[in-house]
């Protein structure tokens, strides 16, 4: 057993967090001493939830998972990792289609800062879940309740109802 403390950051948009993300967090915490879920504040296309809302929703979900915390960040991922003295970046993999993009991202991050990325594969049942798909299907009235935690489902319904009010 190593006595080295390993801190990982798990950066992403999490708009909203899905069962797939949560599955990756629960698997990954077995590998690290500390895991910081890091919500990127940089604008993604049409975000549904504000960074503050995303942080709050994730915090509620991970509050009983020891050694996991959540915050937002507003700079390059590698800068944020350095600021937090993180040893590794964690990213989730769903399928082979994720690999090419994630490979490029990980190589770029390593080239610019030397930090390595650790990948954790999600359960097969969440392999097709994306936050984008969740937002789109839910906006059109589809039932996404099996793909996201119930608390997030309720927040999503509320957000969409408020959004579509004239
Ligand atoms: P980003 O916009 O940075 O890709 P996401 O919130 O979409 O942010 O994803 C954050 C990380 O979680 C990425 O590594 C992504 O591949 C991974 N991820 C997204 N959805 C899932 C899922 N269903 N299962 C496992 N990992 C996932």
Residue 156 confidence (pLDDT): 96
Pocket test for ligand 1, best of 12, 78, 80, 81 (most atoms within 8 A of CB): 12
Residue 43 confidence (pLDDT): 72
The residue-averaged pLDDT of 84-94 equals 97
Q: How far is the CA of 158 from the centre of ligand 1 (A)?
A: 23
| Atom 17 (ligand 1) nearest CA | 92
**Rounded to whole angstroms, what are the CA distances from 102 to 15, 81, 84, 92, 116?**
18, 17, 22, 9, 12
Considering 13, 91, 131, 135, which one is annotated as catalytic? Answer: 131
Q: What is the mean pLDDT of the chain?
A: 94
pTM of the model: 0.94
- How much of the chain, in percent, has pLDDT values that exceed 90? 87
Close Cβ partners of 158 (under 8 Å, ≥ 6 residues apart): none
The residue-averaged pLDDT of 136-151 equals 95
pLDDT tens digits, residue range 116-125? 999 999 999 9
Tokens of 155: 């927040």
Residue 104 confidence (pLDDT): 97
Close Cβ partners of 96 (under 8 Å, ≥ 6 residues apart): none
Indicate whether 164 pLDDT > 80: no
Indicate whether 2 pLDDT > 80: no
Query: How far apart are alpha carbons 68 and 62 in whole angstroms?
Result: 7
> From the alpha carbon of 126, which atom of ligand 1 is closest?
23
Say how far residue 143 (Cα) sits from the centre of its chain: 21
Tokens of 103: 């490979």
Q: Would you give the DSSP letter of residue 65?
A: S
Q: How far is the CA of 1 from the centre of ligand 1 (A)?
A: 30
Task: Indicate if ligand 1 lies below 6 Å from the C-beta of 134.
Answer: no
Query: How far apart are alpha carbons 37 and 153 in whole angstroms?
Result: 20
């Amino acid at each position: 057993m190593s006595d080295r403390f390993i801190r990982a950051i798990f950066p992403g948009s999490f708009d909203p967090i899905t069962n797939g993300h949560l599955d990756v967090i629960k698997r990954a915490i077995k590998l690290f001493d500390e895991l910081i879920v890091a919500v990127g504040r940089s604008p993604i296309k049409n975000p549904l939830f504000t960074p503050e809302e995303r942080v709050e929703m994730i915090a509620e979900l991970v509050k009983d998972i020891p050694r996991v915390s959540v915050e937002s960040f507003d700079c390059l991922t590698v800068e944020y990792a350095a600021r937090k003295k993180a040893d590794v970046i964690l990213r989730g993999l769903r399928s082979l289609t994720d690999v090419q993009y994630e490979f490029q991202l990980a190589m770029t991050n390593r080239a610019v800062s030397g930090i390595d990325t650790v990948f954790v594969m999600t359960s097969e049942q969440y392999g097709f879940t994306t936050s984008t798909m969740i937002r789109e299907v839910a906006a059109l009235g589809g039932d996404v309740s099996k793909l996201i935690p119930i608390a997030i489902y309720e927040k999503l319904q509320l957000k969409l109802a408020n959004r579509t009010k004239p």
